[in-house]
């Protein structure tokens, strides 16, 4: 058995003119939560879809518990639990009926199926609502049941694609606690564009944008990579092409983004540099908004991509 339950090497995928994945590589060990952090359209869902056999890669290799997902998709699915971004349940059925349906698809029957349904309903805290039609459920309850359906067969590998989208903070917190409990017995890949979720949940994570892994490591490693620098964002209307030359050789200022409506700078001290940056920007247009971001993981994302995590 491989030390890594998930092994992804050089995945590539193109949809027409869009290069969705450009050589994505990572591995995930048993008991580990691995986060794919990036904005919508970064390539997270495409990676998940390849791992669960819904999309064929144009190149690269992906193995689940040593099984090639392209050459043996049926074998790979036996060790895999998938929790899609969209809730995939039957609204006119109860929670127990939904789980029984999915359990039979996994080949579960009889007392084993009933025992597994009882176990996962308790795990997702829905045992007392198990017989109700799920059309009465809140969004958070539906998300928890969606997870229960994905782990009913006790998979070694669980893929969760943005399972907290649209939920209130309390429901999101409950989902994160549940995911951490699932990871005690599985390798988990968790996609999100919520920075706080990645910080709370993930053992290691990758910052992904435009189909590529831009940085990877533990939270401490990525924070260290961000450095002790601040981000200064000036928004307004600018003739941006002249800004780099106007800054000249200012060694403590790095230009991250320079567009007609936003100028982004990385600096060691916003307090020291702000007045000078404002003066330069005023020479090329109107500054309507100023924002300063302290050293953080989000700063690293901005430095790598030139845009905010939620853009």
Q: What is the CATH number of the domain that holds 260?
A: 3.30.70.250
Question: How many other C-beta atoms can be found within 10 angstroms of the C-beta atom of residue 108?
Answer: 19
CATH number of residue 38's parent domain: 3.40.50.300
Res 249: pLDDT? 63
For residues 159 and 83, the answer to whether their CB atoms sit within 8 Å is yes
Q: Give residue 278's pLDDT.
A: 92
Name the least confident of 110-119, 139-148, 265-274. Answer: 265-274
Query: Does residue 310 form part of some domain?
Result: no
Which range in 86-90, 129-133, 252-256 is most confidently predicted, on average pLDDT?
129-133
Cα gap 86→70, rounded to integer Å: 24
Under 8 Å between Cβ of 18 and 12 = no
Q: Tell me: do 267 and 147 sit in the same domain.
A: no
Domain match, 113 and 240 both:
no
Bridge-partner residues for 238, per DSSP? 285
* Higher pLDDT among residues 89 and 249, named by residue: 89
Q: Per-residue pLDDT tens for 82-114?
A: 998 888 899 999 999 999 999 999 889 999 999
pLDDT of the residue at 301: 77
Instruction: Report pLDDT for 1.
Output: 42
Q: Are 6 and 63 in contact (CB under 8 A)?
A: yes
**pLDDT for the residue 185:** 84
Note whether residue 254 is domain-resident: yes
Pick from 25-29, 75-79, 238-242: least confident: 238-242
**What average pLDDT score do residues 304-311 get?**
65
pLDDT tier at 251, thresholds 50, 70, 90: low
- Specify the pLDDT at position 121: 95
Residue 167 and residue 208 in one domain: yes
Work out the pLDDT band at 206, boundaries 50, 70, 90: very high
pLDDT value for 309: 60
As a dihedral over the C-alpha atoms of residue 136, residue 138, residue 140, residue 141, rounded to 10 degrees, the angle is -20
In this structure, the answer to whether residues 127 and 265 fall within a common structural domain is no
> Do 185 and 269 sit in the same domain of this protein?
no
Which tokens sit at 74?
């049926």
DSSP 90: -
pLDDT-derived band at 250, boundaries 50, 70, 90: low
Please count the other Cβ atoms lying within 10 Å of the Cβ belonging to residue 280.
21
Domain that holds residue 67: 6-224
The answer to whether the beta carbons of residues 231 and 299 sit under 8 Å apart is yes
Q: Would you say residue 254 has pLDDT above 80? A: yes
Domains of the chain: total: 2
**How many whole angstroms separate alpha carbon 36 and alpha carbon 95?**
29
- What average pLDDT score do residues 19-25 get? 96
Q: Is the pLDDT of residue 198 over 90?
A: no
Q: Do 63 and 127 lie in a common domain?
A: yes
Q: What's the pLDDT band for 176 if we cut at 50, 70, 90?
A: very high
How far is Cα 265 from Cα 306, in angstroms, rounded to an integer? 10
Q: Output the six-digit token pair for 185.
A: 């017995």
Secondary structure letter of residue 103 according to DSSP:
H
């Amino acid at each position: 058995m491989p030390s890594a339950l998930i092994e992804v090497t050089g995945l590539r995928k193109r949809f027409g003119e869009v290069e969705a994945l450009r050589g994505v590589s990572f591995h995930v060990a048993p008991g580990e939560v691995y986060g794919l952090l990036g904005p919508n359209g970064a390539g997270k869902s495409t990676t998940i879809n390849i791992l669960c056999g819904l999309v064929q890669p144009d190149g690269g290799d992906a193995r689940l518990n040593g099984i090639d997902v392209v050459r043996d998709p049926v074998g790979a699915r036996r060790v895999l639990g998938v929790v899609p971004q969209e809730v995939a349940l039957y609204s006119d059925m109860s929670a127990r009926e939904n789980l029984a349906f999915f359990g039979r698809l996994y080949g579960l029957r009889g007392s084993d199926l009933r025992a597994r349904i009882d176990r996962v309903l308790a795990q997702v805290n829905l045992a007392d609502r198990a017989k109700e039609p799920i059309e009465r459920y809140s969004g958070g309850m539906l998300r928890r049941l969606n997870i229960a359906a994905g782990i009913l067969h006790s998979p070694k590998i669980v893929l969760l694609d943005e399972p907290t989208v649209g939920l209130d903070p309390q429901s999101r917190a409950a989902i994160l606690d549940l995911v951490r409990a699932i990871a005690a017995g599985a390798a988990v890949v968790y996609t999100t564009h919520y920075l706080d979720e990645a910080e709370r949940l993930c053992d290691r994570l990758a910052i992904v944008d435009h189909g590529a892994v831009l940085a990877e490591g533990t939270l401490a490693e990525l924070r260290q990579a961000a450095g002790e620098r601040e981000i200064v964002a000036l928004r307004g209307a600018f003739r941006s092409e002249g800004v780099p030359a106007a800054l000249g050789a200012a060694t403590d200022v790095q230009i991250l983004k320079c567009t007609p409506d936003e100028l982004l700078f990385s600096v060691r001290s916003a307090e020291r540099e702000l007045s000078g940056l404002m003066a330069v920007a005023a020479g090329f247009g109107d500054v309507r908004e100023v924002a300063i971001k302290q050293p953080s993981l989000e700063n690293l994302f901005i430095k790598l991509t030139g845009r905010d995590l939620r853009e």
